[in-house]
């Protein structure tokens, strides 16, 4: 009888052992986000609409050109700081011509509070010159054209085209969008270009612009990097992020 019991237990163990590899994720499935079915995505979008119906770009600007310059300045810097610098900057340099003819050392000091001021000066002056030489002094309206401007990558182009012109060219992927789209399991990539592609597959195009603003707002107000405020989050029931705080 005892021998029978031992045999039974052993065979159960070996069955569990045998089934283990089947439960393991293969490397091919590891990177596929599991939270992307249309119903779940629609629920997330509805919750974002509910929480942030008026989300918009927080960089103050009066036209597409100012938004381009402010977006270049916003790399590794807060929008609040950029807005402070921009207040006086656009009075002194109201046009692409003014920036293109700036004294680089002076401009460096003026934008110094935003960090990386030498590179940013080169980008701002280079972009202003390129606008004058190639686009009649106007910020162009296509992704391909904006990408030709010094200092403008896809994120900048998406901000400018989406906010200034209402053109949905893609999705803005900044540090908040990287973090939150991973927490919500809408992507399992870390590379902004791949994340943007993942999101563009599952978010309806007419929501691209608003979704970018809303997720950035959510990251600034609730879903913080270090300690997300899940108690106050209206996505809590949908979210199964490992680092949820409730
Ligand atoms: S529940 Fe928490 S981790 Fe998930 S989206 Fe909300 S704040 Fe972020």
pLDDT at 31: 72
Question: Using a 6 Å cutoff on CB, does residue 100 contact ligand 1?
Answer: no
For every one of its 246 residues, what pLDDT tens digit does the chain have, with 9 covering 90 and above? Answer: 444 444 444 444 444 343 333 334 444 445 789 999 999 999 999 999 999 999 999 999 999 999 999 999 999 999 999 999 999 999 999 999 999 999 999 999 999 999 999 999 999 999 999 999 999 999 999 999 999 999 999 999 999 999 999 999 999 999 999 999 999 999 999 999 999 999 999 999 999 999 999 999 999 999 999 999 999 999 999 999 999 999
43 sits in which H/E element: helix 38-51
Q: For the domain bounded by 36-55+171-232, which CATH number is listed?
A: 1.10.1670.10
Catalytic residues: 155, 174
Task: Report the predicted TM-score, pTM, of the whole model to 2 decimal places.
Answer: 0.86
Ligand 1 center from residue 191 Cα (angstroms): 21
Place of tokens 């490992």: 242
Contact 127, 68 (CB under 8 A): yes
Terminal alpha carbon distance of the chain:
49
Ligand 1 center from residue 181 Cα (angstroms): 10
**Where are the chain's structural domains?**
36-55+171-232, 64-165
Question: What class does CATH assign to 64-165?
Answer: mainly alpha
């Amino acid at each position: 009888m005892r021998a029978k019991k031992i045999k039974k237990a052993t065979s159960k163990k070996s069955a569990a052992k045998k089934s283990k590899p089947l439960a393991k994720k293969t490397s091919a499935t590891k990177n596929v986000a599991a939270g992307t079915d249309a119903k779940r995505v629609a629920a997330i979008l509805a919750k974002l609409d509910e929480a942030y119906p008026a989300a918009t770009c927080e960089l103050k600007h009066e036209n597409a050109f100012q938004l381009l310059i402010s977006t270049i300045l916003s790399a590794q810097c807060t929008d609040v700081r950029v807005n402070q610098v921009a207040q006086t900057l656009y009075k002194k340099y109201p046009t692409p011509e003014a920036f293109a003819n700036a004294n680089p050392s002076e401009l460096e000091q003026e934008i110094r509070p935003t960090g990386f001021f030498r590179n940013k000066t080169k980008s701002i002056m280079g972009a202003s010159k390129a606008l004058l030489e190639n686009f009649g002094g106007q910020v162009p309206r296509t992704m391909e054209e904006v990408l030709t401007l010094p200092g403008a990558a896809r994120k900048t182009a998406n901000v400018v085209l989406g906010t200034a012109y209402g053109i949905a060219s893609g999705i803005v992927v900044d540090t908040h969008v990287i973090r939150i789209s991973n927490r919500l399991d809408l992507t399992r990539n870390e590379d902004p270009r791949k994340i943007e592609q993942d999101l563009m597959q599952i978010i309806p195009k007419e929501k691209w612009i608003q979704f970018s603003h809303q997720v950035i707002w959510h990251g600034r107000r609730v879903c913080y990097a270090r300690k997300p405020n899940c108690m106050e989050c209206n996505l809590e029931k949908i979210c199964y992020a490992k680092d949820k705080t409730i």
